[in-house]
Amino acid sequence: MFRETRYSVKQLAVIAGVSARTLHYYDEIGLLRPTRNPTNGYRVYQPDALLRLQQILFLRELGLSLYEIQSVLDSPDFSLLSALEQHRQALLERRQRLDQLVHTVESTIQHLKGSIDMDAKDLFTGFSAEQEQAYAEEAQRRWGEKEVQESQKRWGSYSAEKKQSILAEAGVIYQDIVAAMPYGPASPQAQDGVARWHQNLRYFYEPTREILLGLADGYNDDPEFNATFQRIHLDLASFMRQAVQVYCQNL
């Protein structure tokens, strides 16, 4: 099945691109159990463990927590083949969205160079209902189903033109926050931007102080969220977190 039948912790760490410490942690929590080499008692991983690790990394890529991953993999009706087919579909959809974003970035570069003209709608190609849905699912994991249902209901009630206007407004707000970065997160310029961001979120739901702080943390800690903000400015996510923390102190 594989070239080797047993892999040491070090070998598997190199092959899978994870740290040995990560593998030890997965062992500690029962997520990925190695067997023991009968000759020396060292941890070894057999082919079934490699396939399970692949599933763990796929599910982490899709945003599941380790607890959620363990529940999925240990479910009696878990099917490896079915899971792989679902991963393939999810990755294809993500690739399509990333291709759209790459095209948008390339077009924006040409627009800024004066080679082409873009309108406001073109600037936000790729930042669409698919991304809004992904944000909604992440919000559901963080703050509960009720808030997500309210968000989806509000979003679904808007016309296509209104949705585009909301996204365009958000884009302008983020650019204004970038412009405020030299003045510091507590500056009037930055705080005005955060207040407008807060108001823009009301198109989706009524955000509590906890949600505002959680979103700011998510912009930094979630790889996909962070990548979105880095496309605007490399330091925007971290600046947003600081500015939102200041803003929430005064709510």
C-alpha dihedral over 17, 20, 24, 29, to 10 degrees? -30
What pLDDT shows up at residue 23?
92
Q: What's the CATH code of the domain at 138?
A: 1.10.490.50
Instruction: Measure the N-to-C terminal CA separation of the chain; round to a whole number of Å.
Output: 59
Quick one: 107 and 28 in the same domain?
A: no
2 within some domain: no
Q: Which domain holds residue 49?
A: 7-73
Spatial contact of 180 and 189, defined as CB atoms under 8 Å apart: yes
The whole-angstrom separation of Cα 170 and Cα 204 is 12
Q: Is there a single domain that holds both residue 232 and residue 139?
A: yes
Q: Clarify whether residues 67 and 157 are in a common domain.
A: no
So what's the pLDDT on residue 232? 78
109, 35: one domain:
no
What does the chain come to in residues?
251
Q: Are residues 178 and 86 in the same domain?
A: no
Instruction: Please report which confidence band the pLDDT of residue 227 belongs to, taking 50, 70 and 90 as the band edges.
Output: confident
Judge whether residue 197 has pLDDT over 60: yes
* 144 shares its domain with 46: no
User: Does the pLDDT value for residue 59 go beyond 60?
Assistant: yes
Instruction: Say if residue 238 is in the same domain as residue 213.
Output: yes
Q: What pLDDT digit, counting tens, does each position of 97-125 carry?
A: 667 667 767 767 776 777 666 555 554 55
User: What pLDDT digit, counting tens, does each position of 131-180 carry?
Assistant: 555 555 555 555 555 666 677 778 778 887 787 778 778 878 888 898 89
pLDDT value at 76 more than 80:
yes
Instruction: Please determine, for residue 28, whether its predicted confidence score (pLDDT) is greater than 80.
Output: yes
Residues 144 and 218 placed together within one structural domain of the fold: yes
Whether residue 88 is found in the same domain as residue 182: no
Residue 115's pLDDT is: 67
* Lowest model confidence (mean pLDDT) among 8-22, 34-48, 157-171: 157-171
Element holding 106 (H helix, E strand) = helix 80-112
Assigned domain for 1 exists: no
User: Which range (22-31, 73-82, 181-190, 197-206) has the least confidence?
Assistant: 73-82
Count of structural domains within the chain? 3
